[in-house]
């Protein structure tokens, strides 16, 4: 038997706030549905030891390191691939990190497989900013040879943006002028190659400096780079 | 002083003669990168590349290895390539470099899955099971699914390894394919693309894997639940 006072309070509550509760509920359902259907896949690629797994940890846990037995450590080397499949919010944009892939040359056939299976809307390509000019040029060429070659003449594949994260800025960027110079050179080198691929000119491209050192307390550069990446996929 | 043979020595001794290819993954400590090699062992007009090995999911997966340090897992992974059926029999082992990094090394002997090759595979696996665990006995009624145990060390776990290998032999003897793995070293093994998905009807799962509490405790709760639901037998 329901007490009369409870029935009265419930009726009063429903009369007073009923509409708002329904609207709130609908809003929640709509947001949930939006997040379910609007989630879009991204891939993080790059050579071995460029910080891909650290970035994935940062995106999924808020810290670019793991704590095991009370000790902070960077992620161990990725062999083959690891299925991540986690939803992350980047600049109010719901994205899904599907896989963590090894960067070794010998394992790059996995990149093709991942591109075909995941069909990413955005790719973050990690570069080791500590490399010398020629080595960086080679790495930039690899973006075209191992990633963008799968999109040439295939705009329907759905890639909207590729952002280059030039990592370890705490180790190569002595001051802001030097950082800007390096990013500009990388950007020019990338654009020069992109210009010769008319079917890829639609891509939104950006180059940012990042660092994911486990010894720091904040990763502002990474936040800025991710903000820009998220904006390009809105 | 004689050092005991590693699992890779045992594999070489019993599998190298009949296999068509040998795939190995090691690490180049100077460059700090994994190295992958594929070697053709028998004359053949078919070639298997490094790219194929990575694509069919033979390589150890993931970036968490510490939980399996000192352990190894013997596996048999069937796959299809160039319109032929193959079986890769091998092992992966978690090792530690003096610098402190933990990582897997891997070796797989690849056989074409034909009647002729099958007898070589079965003999090889029989010998491996005997060498790992001298009391190893053949099994008639094999199980599939996940075998649970609570052994703390690889030495004590050998009885489970032998059981899983013998069960796999029984299935291969009937000409059926099976993916087996004597111990799951990383929960990433449960998420591999295109691998037989876990199902809750153990006898038809198409795979047989072993797990021990010592390593399993480090897995995600989802992975542990999946293992629990696919449990087929518990070693005490």
Identify the closest residue of chain B to A53 by CA–CA distance.
B63
- Whether A125 has a pLDDT exceeding 70, the answer reads yes
Is B68 at the interface with chain A, CB within 8 A? no
Contact A50, A211 (CB under 8 A): no
Query: What DSSP designation does A18 have?
Result: H
Is A113 at the interface with chain B, CB within 8 A? yes
Q: Which of A46, A219, A31, A2 has its CA nearest to residue A143?
A: A46
Whole-angstrom distance, CA of residue B17 vs CA of residue A135 = 42
Whole-angstrom distance, CA of residue B22 vs CA of residue B10 = 14
Instruction: Output the pTM of the full model.
Output: 0.84
In chain B, where the domains are located: 7-234
Whole-angstrom distance, CA of residue B44 vs CA of residue A131 = 42
Per-residue pLDDT of A43-100, as tens digits, reads 999 999 999 999 999 999 999 988 877 888 888 889 999 889 999 988 888 899 999 9
pLDDT given for residue A162 in this prediction? 97
In chain A, where the domains are located: 1-38, 39-232
Whole-angstrom distance, CA of residue A76 vs CA of residue A56 = 13
3-state secondary structure of B81: strand
- Whether A37 has a pLDDT exceeding 90, the answer reads no
Is B36 at the interface with chain A, CB within 8 A? yes
* Contact check, Cβ <8 Å, A79/B104: yes
**Across chain A, where does the E strand assignment appear?**
40-46, 66-68, 71-73, 81-90, 93-101, 122-128, 161-167, 204-209
* Contact check, Cβ <8 Å, B33/A48: yes
- Whether A113 has a pLDDT exceeding 50, the answer reads yes
Is B34 at the interface with chain A, CB within 8 A? yes
**Mean predicted lDDT score pLDDT of chain A:** 86
The whole-angstrom distance between A119's CA and the closest CA on chain B is: 15
Query: Which of chain B's residues have a Cβ under 8 Å away from the Cβ of A68?
Result: 66
Alpha helices in chain B (DSSP H): 7-15, 50-55, 115-132, 154-173, 213-216, 221-229
Per-residue pLDDT of A136-191, as tens digits, reads 999 999 999 999 999 987 766 789 999 999 999 999 998 999 999 999 999 999 99
Contact residues for A191 (Cβ-Cβ < 8 A; gap 6+): A205
Identify the closest residue of chain A to B36 by CA–CA distance.
A106
Is A81 at the interface with chain B, CB within 8 A? yes
Confidence band of A36 (pLDDT split at 50, 70, 90):
very low
Query: Which of chain B's residues have a Cβ under 8 Å away from the Cβ of A106?
Result: 34-36, 50, 54
Name the region of B70 (left: φ>0; alpha: ψ -120 to 50; beta: rest): left
Whole-angstrom distance, CA of residue A139 vs CA of residue B56 = 26
**A39-232 placed in CATH 3.40.50.300:** yes
Contact B125, B168 (CB under 8 A): yes
Query: Which of chain A's residues have a Cβ under 8 Å away from the Cβ of B102?
Result: 76
Confidence band of A33 (pLDDT split at 50, 70, 90):
very low
* Contact check, Cβ <8 Å, B193/A83: yes
pLDDT along chain B (236 residues), means of 10: 85 94 93 92 91 91 89 95 94 88 94 92 96 87 86 94 95 90 92 68 72 93 89 87
CB-nearest partner of A79 from B51, B62, B191: B62
> Phi/psi of residue A23, each to 5°?
-60, -40
The whole-angstrom distance between A115's CA and the closest CA on chain B is: 13
Per-residue three-class SS string for B90-121: EEEEEEECCCCCEEEEEEEEEEECCHHHHHHH
Distance from chain centroid for Cα B44: 25
The whole-angstrom distance between A103's CA and the closest CA on chain B is: 9
3-state secondary structure of A73: strand
* Contact check, Cβ <8 Å, A80/B32: no
Name the more confident of B138 and A124.
A124
pLDDT given for residue B86 in this prediction? 95
pLDDT given for residue B30 in this prediction? 86
CB neighbours of residue B168 within 10 Å: 29
Query: What DSSP designation does A209 have?
Result: E
Name the more confident of A39 and A227.
A227
Contact residues for B182 (Cβ-Cβ < 8 A; gap 6+): B73, B74, B75, B157, B160, B161, B164, B165, B209, B210
The whole-angstrom distance between A132's CA and the closest CA on chain B is: 16
Query: How many Cβ contacts (< 8 angstroms) between chains A and B?
Result: 81
Is A74 at the interface with chain B, CB within 8 A? no
| CA dihedral for B57, A79, B32, A47, sign (positive or negative) | positive
- Helix, strand, coil percentages in chain B from 3-state DSSP, rounded to 5: 35, 30, 40
- Half-sphere exposure at residue B14, Cβ-oriented, CA atoms within 13 angstroms: 22
DSSP H/E element including A56: helix A52-61
Confidence band of A22 (pLDDT split at 50, 70, 90):
low
């Amino acid at each position: 038997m329901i007490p009369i006072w409870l029935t009265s309070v419930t009726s009063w509550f429903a009369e007073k706030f009923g509409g708002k509760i329904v609207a709130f509920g609908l809003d929640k359902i709509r947001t949930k549905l939006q997040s379910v259907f609007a989630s879009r896949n991204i891939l993080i690629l790059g050579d071995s030891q460029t910080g891909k797994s650290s970035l994935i940890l940062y995106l999924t846990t808020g810290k670019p390191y793991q704590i095991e037995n009370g000790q902070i450590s960077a992620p161990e080397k990725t062999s083959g691939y690891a299925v991540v499949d986690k939803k992350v919010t980047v600049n109010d944009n719901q994205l899904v990190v599907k896989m963590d892939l090894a960067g070794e040359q010998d394992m790059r056939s996995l990149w093709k497989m991942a591109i075909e299976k995941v069909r990413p809307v955005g790719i973050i390509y990690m570069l080791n900013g500590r490399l010398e000019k020629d080595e960086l040029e080679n790495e930039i060429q690899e973006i075209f040879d191992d990633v963008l070659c799968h999109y040439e003449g295939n705009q329907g594949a759905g890639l909207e943006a590729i952002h280059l994260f030039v990592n370890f800025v705490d180790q190569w960027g002595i001051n802001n002028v030097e950082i800007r110079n390096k990013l500009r050179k990388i950007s020019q080198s990338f654009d020069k190659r992109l210009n010769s691929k008319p079917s890829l000119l639609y891509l939104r491209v950006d180059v940012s400096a990042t660092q994911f050192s486990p010894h720091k307390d904040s990763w502002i550069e990474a936040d800025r780079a991710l903000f820009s990446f998220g904006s390009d996929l809105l | 002083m004689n050092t005991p043979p590693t699992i890779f020595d045992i594999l070489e001794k019993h599998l190298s003669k009949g296999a068509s290819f040998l795939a190995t993954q090691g690490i180049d400590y100077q460059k700090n990168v994994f190295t992958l090699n594929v070697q053709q062992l028998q004359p053949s007009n078919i070639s298997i590349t490094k790219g194929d090995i990575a694509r069919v999911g033979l390589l150890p997966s993931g970036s968490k290895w510490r939980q399996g340090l000192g352990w190894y897992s013997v596996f048999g992974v069937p796959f299809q390539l160039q319109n032929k059926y193959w079986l890769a029999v091998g092992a992966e082992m978690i090792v530690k470099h003096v610098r402190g990094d933990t990582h897997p090394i891997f070796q797989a002997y690849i056989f074409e899955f034909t009647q002729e090759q099958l007898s070589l595979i079965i003999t090889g696996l029989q010998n491996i099971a005997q060498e790992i665990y001298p009391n190893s006995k053949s099994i008639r009624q094999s199980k599939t699914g996940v075998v649970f145990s609570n052994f703390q060390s690889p030495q004590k776990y050998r009885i489970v390894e032998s059981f899983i290998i013998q069960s796999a032999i029984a299935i291969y003897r009937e000409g059926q394919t099976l993916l087996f793995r004597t111990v799951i070293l990383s929960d990433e093994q449960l998420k591999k693309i295109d691998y037989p998905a876990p199902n809750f009807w153990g006898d038809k799962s198409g795979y047989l894997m072993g797990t021990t509490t010592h390593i399993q405790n480090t897995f995600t709760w989802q992975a542990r639940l999946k293992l629990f639901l696919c449990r087929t037998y518990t070693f005490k």
